[in-house]
Structure 1
Amino acid sequence: MRENGAQDDRDAFEGGLGAAMKQAGEGFSVAGRPLVDGGVARGRRRAVLRRGAVVTGSVAALAVIGVGGTYVTGDIGVSQDGGNGAAVGAQATDKAGRTEEPSDPYTGQQVIRTLEELLPPGKFSKQTGRGTTGEGDRKDVHAPYASVVYDDGHGKAAVSVSLDRQHPDRKLPEGELSCPDKNLNAFESCSATTLEDGSRLVLFKGWEYPDRRVETKRWYADLLTPEGYRISVTEWNAPAEKDAPVSRPAPPLSSARLKALVRAEEWHPIIASLPEPAQPPLEQPAPQGQNGDVILDKLIKQLPGRLAVKASGGQETEYAYVVVDDGKGESFVQINVQPGRSDVEGELFGPDAKVLPDGTKVTTSQGPGEKGGDGVQMWTVDTLRPDGFRVVISAFNAANQNEPSTRETPALTLPELKKIATNKTWRP
């Protein structure tokens, strides 16, 4: 039995956009490229690391989304990001390059109806959606999506889909349509495969919050076909992405059903009606900032000899991490290397900052970790050269920020962190 009553498209857009952006951040991680968690300090100090951390999710973009040119999942309408979660919707597609008007446009109601017809029998409520031409006050938006609350008799669950179209020759950003780094984003399971028809598929099972502050689960499927059709479906075990009590042990659709849903041919006519994306440039612009692999190599070479590297990773530019162990437990260490950050000087380097003979400003902090893991402590040294070249490094008393602490203090001391951050080797 279906309870029709989609809300107006403007409300849907506002709700879905936030969700999509969130998702995009997680990855395209999964949903997009996994958003690297480069935040280093607290409060505003974290915010200024936006350039150093990706979002998988990798990924993201705003296709409706991102884990960062990636559009991870989330709930679009109900609320998306999850990263490639619920509304794996908005991708990082260049909408500005689309000039043709879509043919045979689809309304938001038609997108909602398609989602409902493809789901197993059940009751539907709180439907929101947007069609292929944009509706209401946003006729310039080409990012169709649908979001519903679905009840199969075992509890209500938010389910959303986002659709987009990109040029077949567009090169995916690093990390997009791949699984997130488990040291940065905890999850139950994830697979990223290339199907027999050449499509790229990510199937993800995780939580709305990696630190599991609540038991809201977010599962999603993210598909990109050789034609450039992007379909993302996200589901939760609650009637909303956030701020709603868990209503069932797990989301309603298994990985097999999610796979079948994103591969359904019914989505193709809707996406095909979107304006044809512009041809991508023959040469993609080179990423700005130092290469992440180079940063990682420099970091490892400067670690004290007592530390054994157990894991490592990072992102394409500006960020890297290691998990080290001195025999007393694993410790997560992350670093951002960012040129041109004079804009944060007044915000992060106040009158109490120490000034070295070469003019480098240095601040230190010790406090709780950013992700909320039980007992996690974060020690940070932040440095800014006179020309705006910034190096900020943090160490934790845990193998990652999402899980409880594994040792009393981080494996590196503040003086050791300062020595690394101020080393001249960071200059390109």
Structure 2
Amino acid sequence: MTSEEDFTRALRDHADLAPDPPTELFALAAERRGRARVRRRRTLGASALALVAAAGCALALLPGHTPARVRTTPAAPAVDGAFMSTTLRSLLPPDGQATDASGTPVELVLPGQAPMAWLDYDDGHGPARVLLSIDRLAAPLSDGAPALQCPDALAEPTTTCRRATRPDGSRLTTSTKAPRWDGDDRAWTVTYAAADGRAVTVHEIASATPSRPAREQPPLTEAQLQAIATSDAWRPAFAALPASTVPPAAPVSGPAVLTALRAALPAGVAFDPGPGVQDTPGRVHGAVTHGGRTGQLVVSVEHGWHRGFRDAPPTAFRSLTPAEPTRQTPDGALFAVTRLDVTGPDGTKGVQWTAHALLADGTLVTAELWTDGAGHRITADPAALDRDQLTALVTAPSWARA
């Protein structure tokens, strides 16, 4: 699962937070990655300025020398948090009100994570949280690109999802998430990917309470979200996100994922994909049962994940779950497992597990397991698999052959 899909899922699980981005992570990244760079730039910059000044003085002292006019070109905009938030605000309709705008600097984004901007926008009928992120996808784009897929129906109650290829080769995916219960939030998402891999995703989240349902129509229409995502105003931000130098690997078919999953399941675990054919590239879902316990499981697999990008796959992988330590199996697979406690509308507490693994051959495997029952109802039942079983599942060698 890509970093973009992780971000979308986080919105689903923490919608009542109108999520505050992890600014402390960006600060830590700045601390770790920026100090040496700043010192180096200051040293080189001072040396360069001294050389330029010395050369200018020497020329000015030559007999009969007239200083030449220097032609200047407008400086490129600085891509920082202010650029991200200001650009987002500039693309909003002027008849509404934007508040609490902020953004993350591109140069401070952790490897594998996308720069973001976020704010609240109110058209006079109630606010919605707007979150935007940019990313690079491997080109050429294909219908199997994970970031361009519709949300998984089992994981997210999606009412509409449309995917389109535009005349210029760019791709557009639009989807709407319905409330799971009274008092749950509603969300609209647009993902735009240019033919060269530049990608922009915009989420719009209308919050709700048990006494006040989320508004059915958002402050920003789908057309307005698309205009924001497809705007050329985001081009400067991609200068710090160079394109991949390696074409994407062929997507794994849904049946191939299912076959690999059955081979990877621990002994005694049953998996039921349900009726119908699952043909989403690289993904399969269903009910997993073990020891009398049943949970919902979504598994995704992607060969050649993040290869050819500026940050090597192992470096980018460590940012998929920054709050959890990354461990390594004896055969070289990296993995991290995260537990998230979730609460239903009646106060029932459930559990969601997310396990990521980057196999030695570059295959990324993600498994999400939660205790939702029918209709996304939170149950207090123990998870069908524990941490060790999930680890064994995502690090199984069968995924490399999918």
Which structure has the highest helix share of the two?
Answer: 2
User: Of the two, which has the highest radius of gyration?
Assistant: 2
Relative to the length of structure 1, the TM-score reads: 0.46
Give the TM-score normalised by the residue count of structure 2: 0.49
